[in-house]
């Protein structure tokens, strides 16, 4: 169920029946010369909507205000001031919870968001809140099978990658007319290793050092057929994850335990 398409009464009913809201997260950024700026959020939202058909939940509109400072030098990127990005996400999550959802799933499709989102989840324990956030990642197994990533690598040669075979295939499945394969760079996006002389370091330019074209992989190998298979795989895994979140009672209880201990300390 799509949040924005529900009327107020149906929305209230959906909250009671599903108890879970999924937030599809991406950004607006360059995807080489052939794929759309909104690739990440289009993939995220489509996957969440279809997963919600298998395991009922409410899907928030596509969220584009992630971390993408590394693409600020390219046309079309939308970057948010870092402090505001966290505050905005906090506000959105708080509004989702205020509307009755006590379990919120993050479904992120932009690699540059992971550090920000992991930190965001870590500081959920800073002050008391009455909801729990669960973030999906590719290591989630499906019915005891291998992880999503392992299964995806049976369909495409490189997973994950940026604007390469897997991501181009996927967006071709979601929005078939928005990819211009005639613009695919004939030279694959291979890591340049320009920071390989400082092994073990992390810098703000790590991604750009390897992929200055914002192209990782080989989109010439992409196809809608591969995208359809990848899409079905992601939808299946996410639906199972949502089901597991619905059934979970441990994470909320542990959060409450920590908040209770924090309160006792303040009363001493």
Q: How many residues does the chain have?
A: 268
Quote the pLDDT of residue 138.
85
Closest C-alpha among 94, 92, 5 to residue 52: 5
Quick: pLDDT tens for 204-217.
Answer: 999 999 999 999 99
Question: Which residues are registered as beta bridge partners of 132?
Answer: 103
Quote the pLDDT of residue 19.
95
Quote the pLDDT of residue 141.
82
Quote the pLDDT of residue 99.
98
Which residues 6+ apart lie within 8 Å of 209 measured at CB?
192, 193, 194, 195, 203
78 in Cβ contact with 5 (< 8 Å): no
Q: For the CA atoms of the chain, what is the radius of gyration? A: 20
Quote the pLDDT of residue 267.
81
Number of H helices, E strands in the chain: 9, 4
- Residue 33 phi/psi, 5° resolution? -100, -5
Quote the pLDDT of residue 101.
98
Closest C-alpha among 102, 220, 203 to residue 161: 220
pTM of the model: 0.95
Quote the pLDDT of residue 188.
94
Contacts 24+ apart (CB under 8 A), 139-145: 140/237, 140/240, 140/241, 142/236, 142/237, 142/240, 143/240
Q: Which sequence spans correspond to the domains of the chain?
A: 3-156+227-267
Per run of 10 residues, the mean pLDDT along the chain (length 268 residues) is: 97 97 98 96 98 98 97 96 97 98 97 96 94 93 79 93 96 95 94 94 94 96 96 95 96 94 86
Strand, coil or helix: what is 139?
Answer: coil
Strand, coil or helix: what is 86?
Answer: helix
CATH code, residues 3-156+227-267: 3.40.50.10310
Taking CA atoms, 46 is separated from 36, 60, 155, 206, in Å, by: 15, 11, 19, 30
169 in Cβ contact with 223 (< 8 Å): yes
Quote the pLDDT of residue 196.
94
């Amino acid at each position: 169920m799509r949040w924005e398409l529900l009327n107020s009464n149906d929305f209230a009913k959906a909250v009671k029946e599903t108890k879970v809201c999924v937030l599809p997260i991406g950004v607006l950024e360059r995807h080489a010369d052939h794929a759309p700026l909104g690739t990440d959020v289009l993939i995220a939202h489509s996957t969440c909507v279809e997963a919600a058909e298998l395991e009922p939940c409410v899907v928030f509109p596509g969220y584009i205000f992630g971390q993408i400072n590394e693409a600020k030098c390219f046309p079309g990127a939308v970057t948010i001031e870092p402090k505001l990005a966290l505050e905005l996400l906090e506000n959105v999550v708080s509004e989702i919870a205020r509307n009755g959802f006590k379990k919120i799933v993050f479904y992120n499709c932009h690699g540059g968001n992971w550090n920000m989102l992991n930190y965001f989840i870590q500081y959920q324990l800073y002050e008391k809140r009455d909801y729990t956030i669960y973030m999906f990642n590719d290591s989630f197994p499906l019915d005891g099978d291998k992880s999503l990533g392992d299964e995806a690598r049976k369909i495409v040669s490189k997973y994950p990658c940026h604007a390469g075979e897997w991501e181009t295939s996927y967006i071709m499945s979601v929005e078939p007319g928005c990819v211009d394969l005639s613009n695919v760079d004939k030279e694959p996006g291979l890591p340049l290793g320009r920071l390989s002389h400082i092994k073990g370091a992390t810098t703000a330019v790590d991604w750009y050092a390897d992929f200055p074209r914002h192209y990782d992989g080989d989109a010439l190998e992409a196809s809608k057929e591969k995208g359809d298979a990848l899409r079905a795989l992601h939808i299946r895994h996410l639906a199972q994850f949502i089901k597991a979140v619905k059934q979970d009672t441990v994470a909320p209880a542990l959060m409450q335990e920590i908040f209770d201990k924090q309160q006792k300390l303040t009363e001493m």
